[in-house]
Amino acid sequence: MAQLRRDYQEFVKRDAELIAIGPEDEKTFTKWWQENEMPFIGLPDPDHSVSKRFGQEVKLLKLGRLPAQLVIDKKGWIRYSHYSNSMSDIAENKEILARLDELNRE
């Protein structure tokens, strides 16, 4: 999340909006979101209904949800996806920003 917060304006420059989906209940999620001053949209998803729609895996042996990063265009098409194998397997922002640059050239 720190890398997304750090580069948030780079996403905005590319006409993109970030939405982070968390497994916590609304109260817990909102408290963390405010304490960490996240500049983008956060969505609590304690029943996993949103994460299931996008195929985000839950692995109990890996302590819950595995990160998933998606770029969804304005028509609702998934144009980039990275489904992580662990918490350390997260795509760098530069990779996602490059994909946004490609999409904006189309």
> Residue 61 pLDDT > 70, yes or no?
no
Domains contained in the chain, CATH given:
2-105 (3.40.30.10)
Residue 80 and residue 106 in contact, taking contact as beta carbons nearer than 8 Å: no
Q: What are the tens digits of pLDDT across the range 6-51? A: 999 999 999 999 988 888 899 999 999 999 999 999 989 888 888 8
Query: Residue 44 phi/psi, 5° resolution?
Result: -70, 140
pTM of the model: 0.80
